[in-house]
Structure 1
Amino acid sequence: MYMMILYAQSWGFNLIGGGFRESKRAMQLSELLGVNISPSQVLQGHSPFKQLVNRYENELVVAVGKGEPAAVMFEYGFKNVLSIDEYASCFDDIDPLAQYKEWITKKVANQSRTFKEIGPRKSVHSERVQAAFIVSDSVDWSRDIQVVCDILRSGGLPGKEIGHQPPLYFAHDDLKYQATFPSERLGMGAFRIALESIFNRIHFNALEYTSFGKPNAFVFKNAETVLKQLASSLDHEVHVVNHPDDGSHFKTLYMIGDNPSVDIKGARQAGHPWFSILTRTGVFKGKENPSDFPADLVVDTVEEAVDYILRKECTS
C-alpha cells in the first residue's frame, strides 16, 4: 500500500500551514499516525519551489514566513538563501519599528544556526537579491512588507536607486483558513493583497508575482507525477489503470479538503482522475454542497472521508 500526504492548512494535528521541511513533517506525521512516512510522501504549498533550484541555486534569495523558511529552501538545494529575519538584521534601521519588537532580538539570535548551514555570509549590501520567496505566512507583516518592497523596488539592493523588480513567488494564495480560533484567519493571500496594494502605490510598475499552491491545477498534476514516481519505486505490484486518452495512470485520486474555493475548485479544475471530498472541519461548515464549487462528496470529518475511500476501493 502507498499513500501521499497532500498537506492542507489543518487536519486536526498541531501542524498548521507550511514553513517546515518535508523531512520534519514526515517525522511528525510518522509519530502521530504510527506508520513510517517518508519525506517524498509529503507535499506542501512550497514544495514546487524545488523546481526553481536550477535557476537560483547559487543566487542570493530571501525566504519569508513563519517556521524555518530558509532551512526549507536550503533542503531544496538553494545554497545562498537567507530568511527575512536574517536579511533584515543586516540593515540598520530598515525596520523603523524594530525597537518596539522585543521578540525580534531573540528570534534573530535563534536563526544564527541557518548561517552555519548555508556557509559564510556574503555582503548583502552589495549582492543583489535575485528572488523573494513567500514560503509560509508572514509573522511580522509591517516589517516584511517594508523589506520586501525595498528589495523589489530597488532591483534587489535595498536603499539603492529604483531598479527592475526581481521575481516574487508565493507558496499559495489562500485568502483565509481555519485554525483553532472560531472564525477564519487571514492567510497568505491576504498578505499578498496587502503587499500588492502598497507596492502598486509606491512603484510605477504593478507588482509581478507567481503564485503556486491550490487551486492551481499545477499542484494536482505535480502530486500525480510524484505519486507515479512513488508507485514505480515500490517493490510489490501496484494496481493502476492506464488511461491513454489523458495520460493518467490512476483510476482515482482523492482530494480531501475543507475549503471549497481552494481545495475543491482545484480538484475540479485538475479534472480526471481527481475525486473531491469536502469536509465540514474548517472553512466550510454549510449543510449543502456549495453551488459555486460543488464537491463530489460532502462529509462531516476527515475520518468519514477516509472510511468512504477505503470502502469504495475495497469493493471495486
Structure 2
Amino acid sequence: MLRIIFKNASQSRSKPQSCPFFSIISRSYSQLHSQIQRPSFGIAFDIDGVVLLGNTPIGGSSQALKRLYDDCGKLKIPYIFLTNGGGFHESKRASELSELLGVNILPSQVVQGHSPFKQLVKRFENELVIAVGKGEPAAVMSEYGFKNVLSIDEYSSCFDNIDPLAQYKKWSTKQEVDQNSTLKMKNIVYSQRVQAAFVVSDSVDWSRDIQVLCDVLRTGGLPGRETGHQPPLYFANDDLEYQAAFPSERLGMGAFRIALEAIFNRIHPKALEYTSFGKPSPSVFKNAETILSQLVSSLHHHLEAGNHGDAGSHPFKTLYMIGDNPSVDINGARQAGHPWFSILTRTGVFKGKENHAKFPADLVVDTVEEAVDFLLTKECSS
C-alpha cells in the first residue's frame, strides 16, 4: 500500500480549476448532455475533528466543500458525510451542516452511526423499545418507522425512585407532558416488556442510564422483576474517544459501553450481549459505496441507463475516506479494501507528525482542505 506524508502542503498543491474535467462539469447541463461523464471517484468525510470542532468549521472545510459544486451551486462531485455521531434525524443534521458549512447538503448525503437502525424496523416496528442518548433519540427512531418507542428520559420517569441520585441532580431531562400522556406511558411500561434498547447517541446521564439499562436488560424488559432473558441491545458506534471543541479527546459511546458491560457482568450471571454499528465495520463502507453510487445516479439521471448500468451500481475507480481517527476512519477504510483510499488529517484525534504506526493511512495531511486539494489534483491528472 502506498503511504505518502506531505510535510509541506504547498509542495502537493496545484490548480485543479485548470483541469479540463472540472471545466467541463462547471458548464450548464444543456451543453453537456451528450458529453458529460460520471465521475470515477467519490468522497466520504468524517465530521467531528475533520470539518467541524463543535459547531465551528475547521481546516478550510467550507472552502474545500464549495469546490465540489459548480458555479450554480449544484453538486458535481459525489460525497457523503460518514460519521459515527448522531442524535438527530439525517434531514435535520443535513440542514444544520448546510448552514454551518455554506453549501447545500442533502439528507441522503448524511450517514450517521444510527442510520443502520432503519434495517431493524420490520423486526421491532410495533414492539416497545427504548432509545438512549443526547439530542432526539426517540424522534429519530420514530421517523425511521418504530411505532412504540420511548426515550430513556420518558421511560425512567414512569418509575418512582428508579434513579436514586435524581434528587441530587441540578438538571432535569424530564419532558413536560400532560397527565393523560403520562398515564398512557405508565400503562405501557407496566404492562409491556421492553423488546430492545437502542443507544442512538452519547448518553447524557451515565449513572441513570446504566442503572436503568441494567434494570431493563437483566429482568427481561420489566424493571423491578426477577431475572429474565436479556433483550437485544444495539449501539450506534463503539468509539472510545472522539474530538470535540475541547483540546483533548472526549469519551465516546464505546467508553459508555465498556462501563455498562463491566457493571452488568458483575450483577448478572450471563455476560452482556450487544451489537455495535458504525465505523470501522466494513459493512459501513460497503453501504457508503452504495449510497455514493445512488447519489451519482441521481446527479446524472438524464443519462441513458443503458450506457451506465443499473442505478446504484456505478463502479468507482477510487473512494476517498477523509478522517481524523486512525482506529476508526483509517482502520475501516483499510479493512474495506479496494477502491477505498484513506486520508488522515491532523485536526482531530490524530495529531502526530508522522503516519499512525498501527493504522497507517495512504496519505497524511494537515487539513481537510489539503486532502481535497490532493484528490482533485490526482483525479485531474489521471
| TM-score normalised to structure 2 length | 0.75
Aligned to 1:222: 287
Q: 1:254 to 1:238 in 2, by over 3 A?
A: farther
Cα drift, residue 68 of structure 1:
0.7
Query: Partner amino acid for 2:249?
Result: E
Cα drift, residue 13 of structure 1:
5.0
Aligned to 2:21: none
The number of aligned residues is 305
- 2: CA distance between counterparts of 1:6 and 1:222? 14
Is 2:364 aligned against 1:298? yes
Does the CA contact (< 8 Å) of 2:326 and 2:359 recur in 1?
yes
Is 2:118 aligned against 1:78? no
Superposed, 1:60-209 pairs within 5 Å as 60-104=128-172, 107-109=173-175, 112=177, 121=185, 122-209=187-274
- 2: CA distance between counterparts of 1:289 and 1:46? 30
Query: Partner amino acid for 1:30?
Result: S
- 1: CA distance between counterparts of 2:147 and 2:375? 41
Query: Partner amino acid for 2:204?
Result: V
Could you list the per-position Cα deviations for residues 20-76 of structure 1 after superposition, in whole angstroms to 9, with x for gaps in the alignment?
Answer: 110111111222233322211100111111111111111111110111111111111
- 2: CA distance between counterparts of 1:214 and 1:88? 30
CA RMSD across the alignment: 2.5
| TM-score normalised to structure 1 length | 0.90
The SS at the match of 1:194 is helix
Aligned to 2:28: none
Aligned to 1:37: 105
Could you list the per-position Cα deviations for residues 60-106 of structure 1 after superposition, in whole angstroms to 9, with x for gaps in the alignment?
Answer: 111101111111111111111111111101111100011111312xx
Which of 279, 300, 312 is equivalent to 2:378? 312
Cα drift, residue 173 of structure 1:
0.4
- 2: CA distance between counterparts of 1:86 and 1:31? 31
Cα drift, residue 236 of structure 1:
4.1
Matched residues, percent identical?
Answer: 75
Does the CA contact (< 8 Å) of 2:244 and 2:250 recur in 1?
yes
Could you list the per-position Cα deviations for residues 116-172 of structure 1 after superposition, in whole angstroms to 9, with x for gaps in the alignment?
Answer: 8xxx64521111101000111111000000000001000011111111000000000
Cα drift, residue 7 of structure 1:
4.4
Query: Partner amino acid for 1:96?
Result: P
Unaligned runs of 5+ in 2: 1-24, 26-38, 56-82
Query: Partner amino acid for 1:85?
Result: D
The SS at the match of 1:67 is coil
Larger Rg: 2
Is 2:322 aligned against 1:256? yes
Q: 1:238 to 1:261 in 2, by over 3 A?
A: farther
Between 1:138-147 and 1:181-190, the stretch displaced more is 181-190
- 1: CA distance between counterparts of 2:99 and 2:175? 29
Is 2:354 aligned against 1:288? yes
Aligned to 2:126: 58
Aligned to 1:14: 54
Q: 1:33 to 1:185 in 2, by over 3 A?
A: closer
The SS at the match of 1:62 is strand
Does the CA contact (< 8 Å) of 1:231 and 1:238 recur in 2?
no
- Structure with more relative contact order (C-alpha pairs < 8 Å, separation 6 or more): 2
Query: Partner amino acid for 1:43?
Result: V
- 2: CA distance between counterparts of 1:132 and 1:39? 25
